Every structure is written in structure tokens, then in C-alpha cells.
Amino acid sequence: MSYLVLARKWRPTVFENVIGQGHVTTTLKNAIVGKRIAHAYLFSGPRGVGKTTIARILAKALNCAKGPTPSPCNECQSCKEITGNISVDVIEIDGASNTSVDNVREIRENIKYLPSYGKYRVYIIDEVHMLSNQAFNALLKTLEEPPAHAIFIFATTEAHKVPATILSRCQRFDFKRISLREIQEHLKFVAKTEGISITEGGVYIIAKEVDGSLRDAHSLLDQIIAFAGTDIKESDIVEALGLMDRTLLFQLSETIIDRNGNECLKLIEKVYNFGYDLKRFCQVLLEHIRDLVIVKVVEEPEGILDSPENEIEELKRLSKKVSLLNLKWMFALLSKGYEDISRSPSPRFTLEMTLLKMVHLENLESINAILDKLEELKANSSNSSAALAKKELANEVKTGVSSLKTAVNASLGNGQWSDFLAFIRKKKPALASHIELVNPAFTEEGVTLNIKDGPYYVYLSENKKSLEQLLNEFFERKIFIAIQVDENTAMPSKIKGDDTIIKEVMKTLGGRVVEDRRRANV
């Protein structure tokens, strides 16, 4: 007998064995018990989550010798034929290869015949969104008033491509991605039943890689067994699937926390030489930093993170070496870096520069913590050493605030100013048009706009308050703004009134005055 792959061997044959789609199976079972069976269903959702599997189980439940029943026996002739995909009463059609109107006309001709020995003729059309518009139109009338013995089950990964006229004639069920924890538990059960030895970390790597698809998890496990046999180590999984070793993430995050730029660049070179997609790597690193934040703020992160126990312990160790505020800024810098990498012609260099910014991020302390220390100093000011302590704390406050301002200015200069311009265009387009061509200078006090004397300077000076309010709203902190005349480009003092505007237009458009017909003052 030929080998049966795990995805087929472990395909559920009853509703109770379906994983992660309880909202669908419960509704269908109740509909069968209550004899409220619809004539058309639409199953939509990601690949490999059970759409076709549940369609077959529903067909068996309706045509079982003991049915219709929510628990098909899988022993009668009808159940066996449907499981083997040889039933003449259950017709499975691939919508991707049967897209024409002629294929639908054939269905319309055959649907009028009664089932051979079952109770229903069930048509399962997979990837139904691939049908042509003409095919959908040909299906409409039959779908609206089908024979009593006919049931349609449509499956699709792209429900938005199905015409509304079809959707309105179906009961729709949206399938969800299967959770990481559910996939891990299922893989452990499969491995135990199949006599496969695999570590918890190895199960996690597989489950993490399949993005909620149980069928993909079965396929990957099959591939790994073919590579490593029945005794599977994490290194076998990494090598068999061409994945990046997750220990590299922990090494990289620790070098960033330890401010070791040299080692950080070496690790990036290792990732690059491995051939790993840098955009994907940046995304995984973002998730890793997010996990560090979780273990930093949550007392029992095991309830939130699906990571294996050894990884959670390592996350806890690393989180003790860095402040929460620094982790937040690292996440913000890497998020911006991810956007830059997506657009960069040299993603490696962009990633390196982003990580070096994270390496040289100052140790930040929240303003609230600094204020708490000031209050504590005030309360203890009667002590003889208060003056000395006050001086030391003042220096600490100065350093902390300076570091915080430096981080704020770094965020302003690292692309957030362009994001602010996009924000202000939606709020006040006129104000945005006056500052788009201004080069901002970032200082410890905030932002300085240097602009030549003239109407732009007057306008911005008059709207300075509004501009500060928008800055505070966007950056969610107090940011000071200064508007000053750039002496190097100031207009001559004799140019006044309308002449200023004329000069600006001539300079911008490259024109000249042909004739001035303005009346002289009398």
C-alpha cells in the first residue's frame, strides 16, 4: 500500500475532531438536529484551516445511512464513498479549472436528477471565486431555487471576489486561522501517536512557521520526518526547512542591550550570508522585542506568549537588563526601520543603520520616575546631606532629561517629521503648505523653523500656536517650536508689500516682469 501523507491520514472525519472552528461545527450540527439545512453554504477563510474537510463531513452527515445526523457513522457505504472521494452523490469541483459557463451549464443539467442512494446531491465547489462572471450568472437561478435534493457548498480563500448576488443566496461561515497553541497541542499528539520524538521547541518552530494552517503543519512535519527520521531535534528542523536559528534573535537582542555594535554587525552579516529575507527577519525581530516588553510588564507571561518554557525564561533574563522605556524606543526605531527596509534598494545597510541607532540609544528614565525622586528629595531636605544629594540628583535629572530629549529629537529627525507633515495635511492643509518646504532644525528645546522674511514668515508666526498644538497632538508630548528669520536668505528691506509676492513668483517660476501697469501713487 502506498504511503498516506499525514495531512490526509489525520484529516478529521467527524465534526468533533475538527480543530479551531468550533463556531462553524456547532452551528452546522445544530442545523442538522433542528432540520434547518440551508440549500447553499459559503465557507471562506485562509488555506489549510478545514473548509473542504468540513464540507465533506457535512456531506456525510446529510447522506449517512443513519442520517441526516450530526455524527456520521463512517461505516456505511455512503460515508465510505464520500471519504474516498468516489461518491456519485457528492461532486467536488475545482473552481480554478472549471471557470467557464459551460461547466456551470453541465451542473444545471445534472442537478435535476435524484441522488443514487443518498438523500442529497451535494456540490462542493472549491476556490469558487475563480469562476467567471458568466459562470456566476448562469449559476444564479439554480442557486436561488435549487431542487429539494440539491445542496451547494462553496469554499474560497477570497470571499471579497464572490459577487454579492451569490453571497446573498448563501449562509456564510468565516473560518479563522488556527491558534499557535492549538497547532502545537495537535502536533504533539500526532508525534506521540506516530512514534515520533520531537522537542517542545521543535514543535513551536513548526507551528510558528505555518501561520495558522494545520494542513501546512502536517506537510512540514512529513518533510522533517523524511529528513531526520523519528528522532527530531531543533537543529534538524532548522536545516530541513532552511529556517533561521531562533537563538540568533536572542544573541542579537542581547548585543543591542549590551551596546555592542561590533558584534551586532557581525550577526547581521551572518543573517545576510545565510540568505534570509531581511524584511522577514526584521518582522521576526520586532515580534521578539514585543515579547521582551510582555515579560517586562506581565507577571505571568506564559498566559499570553505561546513560546516554549526555555524561551520565556531567556526572555525574562534579557528583560532584566533593559528598561521598559528603552524597549519601547527600540520597538519604535525598528518599526520605522521595517518601513525603510521595505522601500530601500539596500535593505542590509538600512537594517544595519537601524540596529546601530538602537545600540547607541541612551539609557532612558521616565519623567515620572525623575519627578518621584525630586519629591523624595524634597521630603528629606531636612537631612544634613540634603544639599549634596540635591546637587547629585539635579545632575541625574539633567542627564535623564537630556537623554530623553535626545531620543525625542532622534525620532523627529528619523522620518517622523515627514509623518507629521502627512498628519497636518489632513488637519490644516493651508498650514501644511507653508511648512513643507521649510527645513526644520532639531534642538534640545524642540524644533526651529528657519525661513526667509516675507509672507510665509508672517503666516507661520501668526499660526505658531496652532502649529504647536498639532505638534503636541501628533507626538503626544510637549514640543517647543521657534520660528526665526534666516538672515542668509532674507529679502532686501526695500522690498515691501506686493513686490515681495512678485519677487517670490519670479524666483519660483523663472519669469520676468514684461510690463508693470500698476498706477503710480498720485
Spell out the alpha helix ranges (H) of 195-260. 200-209, 214-228, 234-241, 247-257
Residue with cell 528598561: 323
42 lies in the same domain as 168: yes
Q: Residues 375-391: what's their mean pLDDT?
A: 59
> Is 434 part of any domain?
no
Do 26 and 130 lie in a common domain?
Answer: yes
Residues 341 and 398 in one domain: no
Q: 201 with 348, same domain?
A: no
Q: Are residues 150 and 166 in the same domain?
A: yes
Same domain (yes/no): 62, 92 = yes
* Sign of the C-alpha dihedral computed for residues 486, 488, 489 and 491 taken in this order: positive
The answer to the question of residue 472 being in a domain is no
Please report which confidence band the pLDDT of residue 367 belongs to, taking 50, 70 and 90 as the band edges: low
- Judge contact between 402 and 445, C-beta under 8 A: no
120 falls within a domain: yes
**pLDDT value of position 186:** 94
Last residue of a domain, one of 380, 410, 440: 410
Which CATH number do you get for residue 222? 1.10.8.60
Select from 316, 334, 358 the last residue of a domain. 358
Confidence of residue 490 (pLDDT cuts 50, 70, 90): very low
Count CA atoms within 13 Å of residue 390 on its CB side.
12
pLDDT at 514 over 80: no
For the stretch 13-54, pLDDT in tens is: 999 999 999 999 999 999 999 999 999 999 999 999 999 999
The reported pLDDT for the residue numbered 473 is: 81
Average pLDDT over residues 443-456: 74
Same domain, 324 and 381: no
For residue 196, tell me if it sits in a domain: yes
| pLDDT digit string, tens, across residues 196-218 | 999 888 899 899 888 889 999 99
| Whether residues 88 and 156 fall in one domain | yes
Answer yes or no: is 385 within a domain. yes
Kindly report, residue by residue over 325-353, the tens digit of the pLDDT: 889 889 999 999 899 998 889 999 999 99
pLDDT at 519: 43
For residue 513, the model assigns a pLDDT of 56
Alpha carbon distance 431, 463 (integer Å): 8
- Alpha-carbon distance of 189 to 159, in angstroms, equals 33
User: Cα separation of 332 and 7, whole Å?
Assistant: 40
Q: What is the pLDDT of residues 152-188, one digit of tens each?
A: 999 999 999 999 999 999 999 999 999 988 999 999 9
Contact 197, 191 (CB under 8 A): yes
pLDDT at 300: 84
What whole-number distance in Å separates Cα of residue 205 and Cα of residue 224? 12
Between 264 and 496, residue with greater pLDDT:
264
Number of structural domains (the chain) is 4
Q: Tell me the three cell numbers of residue 10.
A: 489525520
User: How far apart are the C-alpha atoms of 168 and 379, rounded to whole Å?
Assistant: 70
Q: What pLDDT sits at residue 11?
A: 92
Q: In terms of domains, do 35 and 167 share one? A: yes
**pLDDT tens digits for range 110-120:** 888 888 878 89
User: Are 350 and 373 members of one domain?
Assistant: no
| 306 residue type, one letter | D
In 258-297, alpha helices (H): 261-274, 278-297
Please, which pLDDT band fits residue 448 given cuts at 50, 70 and 90? Answer: confident
In the chain, the percentage of residues whose pLDDT exceeds 90 is 34
Classify residue 223: in a domain, yes or no: yes
Q: Are residues 258 and 326 in the same domain?
A: yes
Among 174, 204, 223, identify where a domain stops: 174
pLDDT at 183: 93
Q: How many CB atoms lie within 10 A of CB 439?
A: 11
CATH of residue 160's domain is 3.40.50.300
In this structure, is residue 289 part of a structural domain? yes
The CATH number that applies at residue 281 is: 1.20.272.10
Q: What is the pLDDT of residue 26?
A: 95
Same domain, residue pair 40 and 161: yes
- H or E element in which residue 316 lies: helix 309-319
Query: Is 462 in contact with 476 (CB distance < 8 Å)?
Result: no
Residue 487 lies in a domain: no
Which residues span the domain enclosing 164? 6-174
> Of the candidates 424, 425, 448, 446, which has an alpha carbon nearest to the alpha carbon of residue 438?
448
Q: Is the dihedral of CA 161, 163, 164, 166 positive or negative?
A: negative
